[in-house]
Structure 1
Amino acid sequence: MAVILETEQETLIAVLNGEIDHHCAKGMRSAIDEKIESCQPDVLILDFGGVTFMDSSGIGLIMGRQRRMQEIGGSLIVRNPPAHIRRVMHISGIERIAQIENQPVQ
């Protein structure tokens, strides 16, 4: 699977890798939603640092997880999107519903 889930205190981090298209987005959504349900995090971070391609399924992935986090009183951060994916996010208006940040490489 192209998602690794980690927890740090009240934060759930989903590290996404590879391509996000309609074939793999469903599995990512299910894995993330199951973890949200089980640990009820205050913050969900979707780390796009390893994503090489994203179509509209990726936008749907973000929007659905934002809605889910809002339902439980949490927030969503989109971290480290590559430039070409950040442009897609900008065009789609993701910045209006989620914080987008770049974390320095350590």
Structure 2
Amino acid sequence: MEMEYQLKGPYLIIRVGRELDHHQAERIRRTMEKISREREIRHIIFDFSETTFMDSSGVGMLISRYRDLSMCGGTVCAAGVGPVVEKLFYVSGLHKIIRVYSEVEDVFNGQE
């Protein structure tokens, strides 16, 4: 599955796809910039439920989105994080700045 997105109220939900490498990170960045020109996005949910690989480009893209949104009072969170991505979240320190939920719907229900 390739990257897909969905708008749900003030939330942009990004379904990352199987791999979050340099090419995919750039695709996501361009998509978010395009959407941001058309709508004010304050919250992004990254859905990693299909993701089996992520490299440092993905980590950098997530940090960049976090930095941009947190400066204007927005949030970035992740859902459906599997073991491979979870390990990278801990090694890189992403777990300290990006809240992780079991599923996308948990974000809207306030569950962790």
After TM superposition, the score normalised by the length of structure 2 is: 0.83
Partner of 1:89: 89
Unaligned runs of 5+ in 2: 106-112
What is the CA RMSD across the aligned residues, in angstroms?
2.0
2:14 aligned with 1:30? no
Q: CA deviation at 1:36?
A: 3.1
Deviations 1:50-88, CA, capped at 9 Å, x for gaps: 112111111011101111211332111111111111011
Partner of 2:75: 75
1:99/1:39 CA distance change after superposition, 3 Å = same
Q: Aligned equivalents of 1:9 and 1:99: distance in 2?
A: 19
Unaligned runs of 5+ in 1: none
Moved over 3 A (4+): none
Identity, % of aligned pairs?
26
Worse-superposed segment, 36-45 or 73-82: 36-45
Give SS of 1:50's match. coil
Q: CA deviation at 1:28?
A: 1.5
2:53 aligned with 1:56? no
Give SS of 2:17's match. strand
After TM superposition, the score normalised by the length of structure 1 is: 0.87
Give SS of 1:49's match. coil
Q: Aligned equivalents of 2:97 and 2:38: distance in 1?
A: 24
Q: CA deviation at 1:95?
A: 1.3
Q: Count residues in correspondence.
A: 105
* Amino acid in structure 1 at the alignment position of 2:42: D
Q: Aligned equivalents of 1:5 and 1:18: distance in 2?
A: 14
Q: Aligned equivalents of 1:41 and 1:56: distance in 2?
A: 24
* Amino acid in structure 2 at the alignment position of 1:66: Y
